[in-house]
């Protein structure tokens, strides 16, 4: 039987048997470990899963109307296809597929130093390794390691920790979440899990394989590829939004895709890590903190643990802008949260020239004397504009009178000959920022305080770490506050996962926190009025 080969990737070099009737994207998903940008989840809407056919094109169906339209628009070259549209019609010959590199992501791995007391759930007693439940995990083999894991919608970030000393083992590991082949947002992945018989299994296996690949890479760097690193991982703490955490543990996500968009269970999870497919110690455990509600998940709990907002005498806020946005306000007496879909447009998706935080992405921008100046990640030639660059661009367009306070531009604005922003792009951006800002303002109101009484505003996640705060305030993405109140907090989710990995006390704190946090849904509380509140926040 003929095969489909992806020579760029280790797994793809052996090929996968052709399945007539399936398209190239479906072959990619089956083989796993192959990076491709399928923002729309394979519907053909985004036009980004472009591949080059280096052999076997006669085995593929003719171009679809979607591809023909992109060809006419100049967005697709004659020797290119969309992976989700190019169907295999026969197995007469091998097909060789090349995926143009859509950039190496810059992924935030930095997080604050932990001050949690060292008292992990997996520990040594004599010549045995025990778990906090009293279970014997096996003989001591020269070390006890743990894995802190932030399962993001776009990225996977993890850190291996020596549970006997609390020290990091190697540097944090970062990779793209392989589930990007199923869509760039949680809605796409929930839809895939609901619409396909084995969709949930595919998604779960995809993300676990991504974690295992990263662990194996760490093992190769540290000990030449021996299993001593992975097989000494006795405990895993995995955090993520409600959808990502549920998929990672193989839980049904149907309820998150239908009204009232709540998880079927918010409780914490403890499973055998090997049962999830993780390549760790055979008797190692995997733990996930409880969910708060809606899409405020275990990552939000981890942010609260890491900032220690729940121990503060003063009122503090956390703003974590990613593919989903979470806002937290509170102190040791009371905590409230809200969550919303926020980051798609600001992570480079949904806008024409948008890209993720990849090499060549425009990250900083200034317009001076009618001329635009910019900087790119890695000082590479510009490929597009990412979230921090988009914020700068909107602020500069507004500041220079190119865009008015109603977010209108007279004509498309070009940064380079091929990179620019159109009115439709701006519309996407203002809708995204308006929802997030509305939740911020309403949460402060529900708490019964004012922004002036908030002592600190933690900016968690990559977006908060790199954005220009003044420009973000100028366009209304962040509230108007003294710049000194903002604290860049790095990867709060990873920091919180690490705290819960090394400290049983922090794990207990997480369990108790989830029970007393009040999760709000401003759109339901405000009813019809919510749409007007969002509309007011669309303008500058």
Domain boundary among the residues 421, 444, 463 is at 421
CATH number at residue 169: 3.30.420.480
Domain boundary among the residues 273, 299, 325 is at 299
Q: Is residue 490 part of a domain?
A: no
pLDDT score at 343:
54
Question: Is 435's pLDDT higher than 60?
Answer: yes
Which residues form the domain of 224?
A: 122-299
| Cα distances (Å, whole numbers) of residue 218 to 179, 214, 226, 229, 287 | 21, 6, 10, 8, 21
Express each pLDDT in 495-508 by its tens digit: 999 999 999 999 99
Helix residue ranges per DSSP H, 312-422:
387-399
Strand order in the sheet with 454-460: 486-488, 454-460, 315-321, 324-330, 335-341, 518-519
CB-based contact 189:252 (threshold 8 Å): no
Report the range of poorest mean pLDDT among 104-108, 175-179, 262-266, 386-390: 104-108
Express each pLDDT in 199-258 by its tens digit: 999 999 999 999 998 998 888 877 655 457 899 999 999 999 999 999 999 999 999 988
How many Å separate Cα 162 from the centre of its chain? 26
Do 295 and 412 lie in one domain? The reply is no
Report the alpha-carbon distance of residue 306 to residue 288 in Å, rounded.
Answer: 15
Instruction: At 510, give phi and psi (nearest 5°).
Output: -60, -45
Do 383 and 253 lie in one domain? The reply is no
Do 129 and 273 lie in one domain? The reply is yes
Q: Is residue 117 part of a domain?
A: no
Express each pLDDT in 73-86 by its tens digit: 877 877 789 999 99
Q: Is residue 435 part of a domain?
A: no
Do 261 and 387 lie in one domain? The reply is no
Do 137 and 86 lie in one domain? The reply is no
Q: Is residue 202 part of a domain?
A: yes
Q: Is residue 107 part of a domain?
A: no
Do 198 and 286 lie in one domain? The reply is yes
Q: Is residue 238 part of a domain?
A: yes
Domain boundary among the residues 361, 387, 421 is at 421
Do 210 and 71 lie in one domain? The reply is no
Q: For the chain, what is the domain count?
A: 3
Helix residue ranges per DSSP H, 142-232:
186-195, 199-223
Q: Is residue 190 part of a domain?
A: yes
Residue linked to tokens 């008015």: 404
Confidence band (pLDDT; 50, 70, 90) for 109?
low
Cα-based torsion angle of the residue sequence 273, 276, 279, 285 in order, rounded to the nearest 10 degrees:
0
User: Of the candidates 145, 125, 144, 146, which has an alpha carbon nearest to the alpha carbon of residue 136?
Assistant: 125
Which distant-in-sequence residues (6+ apart) come within 8 Å of 470 by Cβ? 395, 483
Report the alpha-carbon distance of residue 122 to residue 115 in Å, rounded.
Answer: 19
Q: For residue 501, give both structure tokens.
A: 């990995």
Which distant-in-sequence residues (6+ apart) come within 8 Å of 50 by Cβ? 76, 80, 81, 82, 83, 100
């Amino acid at each position: 039987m003929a095969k489909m080969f992806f020579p760029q990737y280790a797994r793809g070099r052996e090929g996968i048997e052709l399945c007539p009737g399936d398209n190239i994207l479906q072959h990619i998903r089956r083989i796993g470990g192959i990076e491709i940008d399928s923002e729309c989840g394979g519907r053909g809407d985004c036009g980004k899963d472009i591949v080059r056919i280096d052999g076997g094109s006669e085995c593929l169906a003719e171009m679809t109307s979607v591809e023909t339209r992109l060809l006419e628009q100049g967005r697709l070259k004659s020797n290119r296809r969309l992976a989700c549209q190019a169907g295999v019609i026969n197995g007469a010959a091998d097909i060789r597929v090349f995926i143009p590199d859509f950039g190496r992501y810059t992924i935030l791995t930095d997080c604050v130093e932990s001050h949690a007391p060292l008292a992990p759930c997996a520990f040594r007693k004599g010549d045995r390794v025990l778990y906090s439940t009293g279970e014997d995990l096996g003989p001591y083999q020269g070390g006890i390691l743990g894995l802190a894991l932030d399962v993001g919608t776009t990225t996977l970030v993890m850190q291996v920790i020596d549970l006997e000393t609390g020290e990091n083992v190697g540097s944090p590991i970062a990779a793209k979440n392989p589930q990007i082949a199923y869509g760039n947002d949680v809605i796409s992945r929930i839809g895939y899990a609901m619409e396909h018989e084995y969709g949930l299994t595919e998604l779960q296996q995809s993300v676990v394989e991504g974690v295992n690949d990263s662990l194996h890479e760490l093992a190769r760097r540290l000990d030449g590829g021996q299993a001593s690193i992975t097989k000494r991982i006795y405990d895993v703490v995995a955090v993520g939004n409600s959808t990502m955490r549920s998929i990672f543990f193989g839980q049904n996500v149907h309820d998150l895709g239908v009204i009232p968009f709540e998880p079927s269970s918010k409780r914490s999870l403890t499973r055998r890590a090997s049962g999830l497919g993780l390549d760790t110690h055979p008797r190692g455990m995997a733990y996930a903190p409880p969910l708060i509600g809606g899409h405020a998940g275990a990552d939000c709990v981890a942010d609260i643990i890491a900032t220690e907002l729940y121990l503060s005498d003063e009122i503090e806020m956390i703003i974590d802008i990613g593919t989903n946005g979470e806002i937290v306000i509170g102190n040791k007496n009371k905590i409230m949260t809200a969550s919303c879909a926020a980051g798609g447009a600001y992570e480079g998706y949904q806008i024409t020239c948008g890209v993720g935080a990849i090499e060549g992405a425009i990250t900083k921008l200034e317009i001076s004397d009618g001329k635009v100046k910019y900087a790119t990640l890695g000082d590479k030639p510009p490929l597009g504009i990412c979230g921090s660059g988009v914020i700068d661009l909107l602020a500069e367009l507004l500041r220079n009178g190119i865009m008015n306070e109603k977010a209108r531009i007279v004509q498309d604005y070009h940064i380079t000959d091929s990179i620019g922003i159109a009115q439709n792009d701006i519309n996407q951006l203002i809708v995204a920022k308006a929802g997030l800002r509305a939740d911020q303002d309403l949460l402060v109101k529900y708490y019964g305080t004012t922004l002036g009484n908030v002592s600190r505003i933690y900016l968690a996640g990559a977006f908060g770490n790199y954005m220009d705060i003044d420009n973000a305030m100028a366009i209304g993405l962040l509230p108007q506050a003294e710049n000194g109140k903002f604290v860049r907090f790095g990867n709060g989710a990873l920091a919180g996962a690490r705290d819960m990995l090394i400290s049983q006390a922090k794990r207990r704190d997480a369990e108790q926190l989830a029970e007393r946090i009040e999760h709000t849904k401003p759109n339901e509380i405000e009813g019809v009025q919510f749409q007007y509140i969002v509309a007011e926040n669309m303008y500058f």
